[in-house]
Amino acid sequence: MIKYLKPKQEYSDLYDKTTISYCRDMEKLWFDPKHKPPKHKGKNLSKRQLASLFEFQLHFITGEKYLKKEEVINKWMQRDEERDRLLEETPPPELIRCGTCNSLMESESKHLWGDKDDRVLFFFVCPNKCLHNKGVFDNGEVWKSTPTLCEKCNSEMTREPEKVKNKIAITKYICTKCDHSFIDKFDLRTKKEKPDPNFEKDKARFCLSEEKGYKYLDFKRRMEGLSEIIDKHKEKEKNKDLYDKVGKLKKLTIPQFKEFIVSILKDTHYSNLIFDKPDMDRIVSLSFTLEDSKTENEYESSANLKKLLKEKLKETNWGLMSEGINYRLGILSGRFRVYEKEDDLVKLIK
């Protein structure tokens, strides 16, 4: 039994209604003289300026409302589907007996209960038609009505059976101790909605068609792209010196870099430079070995080469890997790496 879930169009209409009412409120607030209207450089805006500023604002409001529509409607439908499922699938509590004749009672109807509609209340009737039906929750808890108390003597009041006259339900409450009584009226007529002559006109203004909504989405994406470019530009302005330095670095390819290293070492006591095959992984690296014919001190030898390389590599987009230089039996070895991305180069210089 589907009780809560309605056709999608109804949710769509409800969403449009809330959008229209939201935008109407905004408009009222915007043009209300009691509410401080926005100013430009301390000056009040003319009516025309104010109106065009509002239209500009409205462009964003209606666009965002359009973009959220599908998601909100789906949420609403899901919630009602869950209500239906809870009501449908929750079994009634068992072995509920009549307080008068002790017969097993039968569940006659059921309803969702609670602020969040998250409990099911079952109404039980006696097969022998005893009075006092019972309301029992799905967990077996018996529903109790809160007693109405007399406002004069605070005693419990009884209720006469409800009478319906001209679609108005009338219930008389009588005090059990004193002579106080009162009548409670409940209007059963479904309230007609007031006619809203501007509804269609405002719907056209505030609820975007698919075509207009798509245009807004396109506009928004372009705006976001633009602000990204501006942010990037600002960041570059701020780190102008860094980016200038990056621009001046010698960006060397692997063969160019090999030649560069050979030229550095040409007139030194290092010889027999050998490069391994470059490692073309995420970070491109290049291992090397060379011979030191002069230095006998292990520490001094690697420290000297490190100093020399570091000094020369500063001008390029290459660097030594963090493991540094190894020395063993007159052979020095190490690894270079390249910095390819601009961001990495900025970090390198920093």
Residue 150 in the binding site for Zn ion (CB under 5 A): yes
Per-residue x/- track, 157-196, Zn ion (CB under 5 A): ------------------x-xx-x----------------
Per-residue x/- track, 72-101, Zn ion (CB under 5 A): --------------------------x-xx
The binder of Zn ion chosen from 130, 264, 308, 320 (CB under 5 A): 130
Judged by CB under 5 A, which stretch of 4-12, 122-130, 284-292, 294-302 contacts Zn ion? 122-130
* Residue whose C-alpha is closest to residue 199's, from 328, 17, 45, 59: 17
The binder of Zn ion chosen from 128, 181, 209, 263 (CB under 5 A): 128
Strand partners, 337: 285, 319
Q: Would you say 104 and 97 are in contact if contact means Cβ atoms under 8 Å apart?
A: yes
Q: What is the C-alpha to C-alpha distance for residues 59 and 64, in angstroms, rounded to an integer?
A: 9
- Residue number, 153 or 230, with CB nearest to Zn ion: 153
Q: What is the C-alpha to C-alpha distance for residues 301 and 195, in angstroms, rounded to an integer?
A: 94
Q: How many residues bind Zn ion (CB under 5 A)?
A: 14
- Residue number, 142 or 178, with CB nearest to Zn ion: 178
- Residue number, 157 or 348, with CB nearest to Zn ion: 157
Kindly state the smallest distance separating residue 169's Cβ from Zn ion, in Å. Answer: 23
Judged by CB under 5 A, which stretch of 30-38, 121-129, 194-202, 333-341 contacts Zn ion? 121-129
H-helix or E-strand containing 242?
A: helix 240-248
Kindly state the smallest distance separating residue 103's Cβ from Zn ion, in Å. Answer: 5
* Token output for 150: 């007399």
**Which residues neighbour 101 within 8 Å (Cβ) at sequence distance 6 or greater?**
126, 128, 130
Which amino acid appears at position 290 of this protein?
L
The binder of Zn ion chosen from 5, 23, 120, 126 (CB under 5 A): 126
Which amino acid appears at position 276 of this protein?
D
What is the signed CA dihedral for 288, 289, 293, 294, rounded to 10 degrees?
Answer: 60
Cα angle 342-343-344, degrees, rounded to a multiple of 5:
90
* Token output for 196: 């809203």
Residue 125 in the binding site for Zn ion (CB under 5 A): no
Rg of the chain taking only CA atoms, in angstroms: 41
Residue 152 in the binding site for Zn ion (CB under 5 A): yes
Residue 17 in the binding site for Zn ion (CB under 5 A): no
Which residues sit at the interface with Zn ion, rule CB under 5 A?
A: 98, 100-101, 126, 128, 130, 150, 152-153, 155, 175, 177-178, 180
